[in-house]
């Protein structure tokens, strides 16, 4: 607001307000000019007066006071500390831990391995009251995968630069002392996962460049490179008998490979299989095991057979949803369980083809973990999803036997017993849960201690050696 000196205006003249809108132009005014109007020029302005802001409303003071009271209450409210149920805590990484592994030591006790975002891995030996740690590395990038050989003589660690290293666990003096580096293996892009042959020291690794590499660990020779996935290989490993390599990829396929020749024996793809990237994979273990579970971003879990090369069952964990796009009629909102290609018409009756202008697909909640669950003659499988639910399925009927609510993403699933249908799950809320899956399912125990999301979990029932029960 500009002030006009009283001595510069003619008697009877009025002081008029001047708009502060930047888009106001005098020449755009349509009303005729006032004959008595006094026009102000820049030379007429003798000073500027800051009139300040409007006084605050009394209600504003009340809001501020209430906010202060609430803030003080928040500060005074005690933070409830979570009980730590862990029998043993392994500390040593300076960044997040992304991979864990466990094995039974031939000398008694347990071997543990961890890989982290600090570009190192750690090897741990726990025997009685003694805990020994050996830091392995450094790697060039985050260590995203760790795995013990089946005879526990070696540990393989893989990082996001594509380097895989082999370390001695001290179980076989041929390979050196506890934590000694045996050799480094180069080849793939960043390592997504590692597996070992069930009866030999042959190591397998899947990479983000769509390849799978196989080495003979004793001498480091590359035995085979398997190529065919169009995108990263998200999961894989050897079949229970060691005669087939199984891999799932971001291209939505499940592939079966011949280890000796490198030939792809079969590809599960197309109609009747996943319509999105494979996010998790589990190979059935056992003498005659021939089945594979795959979960996908398309919200389904599929059970396939290696020998017959058939999809045995499809379990729909999460159903895609199609709803009205903005400014579209609400009556077209609906759920779609089968095909997504639907012809629709817009409000003017014009055909919009596949409905791209009228319908929009809501993201399906991905299946992030899966597991076989057997015991007492039961043949069940489990899927865990982004929806915070683990569903237990009957393989014979395809029906849901139990729905286990977690409240956050189910990041891992594992059997909790070799004889009973006990399930162990890990969750993004930092809690490990033990479930009884019969009679609709119930949580037997919630194990707390982590303060952040659990990104990897492994359960090895053969390492229960320090206790007589399978826990």
User: pLDDT by residue (tens digit) across 30-43?
Assistant: 444 444 544 445 55
Q: Are 281 and 236 in contact, with CB atoms under 8 Å apart?
A: yes
For 97, what's the count of Cα atoms within 13 Å in the CB-facing half-sphere? 21
Q: What is the DSSP string of 297-339?
A: TTSEEEEEETTTTEEEEEEESS--EEEEPTTS-GGG-EE-SS-
User: Which sign, positive or negative, has the C-alpha torsion 438, 442, 444, 448?
Assistant: positive
How many whole angstroms separate alpha carbon 41 and alpha carbon 44? 5
How many whole angstroms separate alpha carbon 399 and alpha carbon 374? 16
Phi, psi of 62 (to 5 degrees): -65, -40
DSSP 447: E
- In this prediction the pTM is 0.74
Tell me what the pLDDT averaged over the chain comes to.
80
pLDDT in tens, the chain (471 residues): 223 333 333 333 322 232 223 333 333 334 444 445 444 455 555 555 554 555 555 555 555 455 555 555 545 555 467 899 999 999 989 999 999 999 999 888 999 999 999 999 999 999 988 999 999 988 999 999 999 999 999 999 999 999 999 999 999 999 999 999 999 998 787 899 999 999 999 999 999 999 999 999 999 999 999 999 999 999 999 999 999 999 999 999 999 999 999 999 999 999 899 999 999 999 999 888 999 999 999 999 999 999 999 999 999 999 866 555 555 444 433 433 443 343 433 434 444 444 444 444 456 789 999 999 977 789 999 999 999 999 999 999 999 999 999 999 999 999 999 888 999 999 999 999 999 999 999 999 999 999 999 999 999 887 544 443 333
First to last CA, the chain: 78
For CATH 2.130.10.10, the residue range(s) in the chain are: 97-318+364-372+386-402
Phi, psi of 212 (to 5 degrees): -130, 130
How many whole angstroms separate alpha carbon 69 and alpha carbon 248? 55
- The per-residue pLDDT for range 260-309, each reduced to its tens digit, is 999 999 999 998 999 999 999 999 998 889 999 999 999 999 999 999 99
How many whole angstroms separate alpha carbon 207 and alpha carbon 212? 6
- Class for domain 97-318+364-372+386-402, per CATH? mainly beta
How many whole angstroms separate alpha carbon 386 and alpha carbon 407? 10
């Amino acid at each position: 607001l500009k002030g006009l000196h009283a001595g510069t205006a003619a008697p009877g003249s009025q002081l008029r307000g001047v708009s502060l809108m930047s888009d106001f132009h005098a020449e755009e005014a349509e009303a005729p000019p006032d004959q008595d109007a006094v026009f102000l020029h820049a030379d007429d302005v003798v000073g500027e007066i800051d009139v300040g802001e409007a006084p605050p409303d009394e209600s504003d003071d009340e809001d501020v006071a209430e906010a202060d009271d609430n803030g003080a209450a928040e500060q005074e409210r005690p933070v409830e500390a979570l009980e730590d149920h862990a029998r043993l805590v392994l500390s040593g990484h300076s960044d997040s831990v992304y991979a864990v592994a466990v094995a039974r030591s031939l000398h008694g006790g347990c071997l543990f391995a961890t890989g982290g975002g600090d570009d190192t891995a750690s090897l741990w030996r726990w025997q009685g009251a003694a805990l020994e740690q050996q830091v392995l590395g450094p790697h060039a990038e985050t260590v995203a995968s760790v795995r013990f050989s089946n005879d526990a003589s070696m540990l393989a660690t893989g990082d996001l630069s594509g380097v895989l290293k082999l370390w001695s666990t001290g179980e076989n003096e041929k390979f050196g002392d506890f934590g000694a580096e045996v050799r480094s293996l180069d080849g793939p892009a960043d390592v997504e996962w590692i597996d070992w042959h069930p009866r030999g020291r042959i190591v397998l690794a899947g990479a983000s460049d769509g390849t799978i590499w196989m080495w003979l660990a004793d001498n480091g020779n590359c035995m085979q490179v398997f190529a065919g996935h169009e995108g990263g290989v998200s999961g894989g490993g050897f079949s229970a008998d060691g005669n087939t390599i199984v891999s799932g990829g971001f291209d939505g396929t499940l592939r079966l490979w011949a280890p000796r020749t490198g030939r792809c024996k079969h590809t599960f793809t197309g109609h009747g299989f996943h319509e999105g990237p494979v996010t998790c994979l589990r190979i059935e273990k056992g003498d005659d095991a021939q089945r594979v579970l795959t979960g996908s971003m398309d919200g389904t879990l599929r059970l396939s057979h290696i020998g017959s090369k058939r999809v045995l069952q499809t379990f729909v964990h999460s159903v895609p949803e199609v709803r009205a796009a903005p400014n579209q009629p609400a009556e077209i909102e609906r759920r779609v369980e089968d095909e997504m290609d639907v012809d629709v018409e817009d409000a003017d009756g014009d055909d919009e083809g596949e409905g791209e202008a009228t319908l929009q697909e809501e993201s399906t909640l991905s299946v992030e973990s899966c597991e076989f669950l057997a015991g007492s003659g039961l043949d069940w499988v489990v899927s865990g999803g982004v929806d915070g639910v683990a569903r237990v399925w009957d393989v014979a009927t395809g029906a849901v036997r139990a729905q286990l609510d977690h409240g956050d993403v189910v990041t891992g699933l594992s059997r909790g017993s070799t004889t009973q249908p006990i399930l162990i799950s890990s969750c993004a809320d930092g809690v490990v849960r033990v479930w009884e899956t019969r009679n609709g399912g119930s949580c037997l125990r919630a194990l707390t201690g982590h303060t952040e999301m659990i990104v990897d979990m492994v359960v090895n029932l053969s390492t229960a050696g320090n206790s007589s029960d399978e826990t």
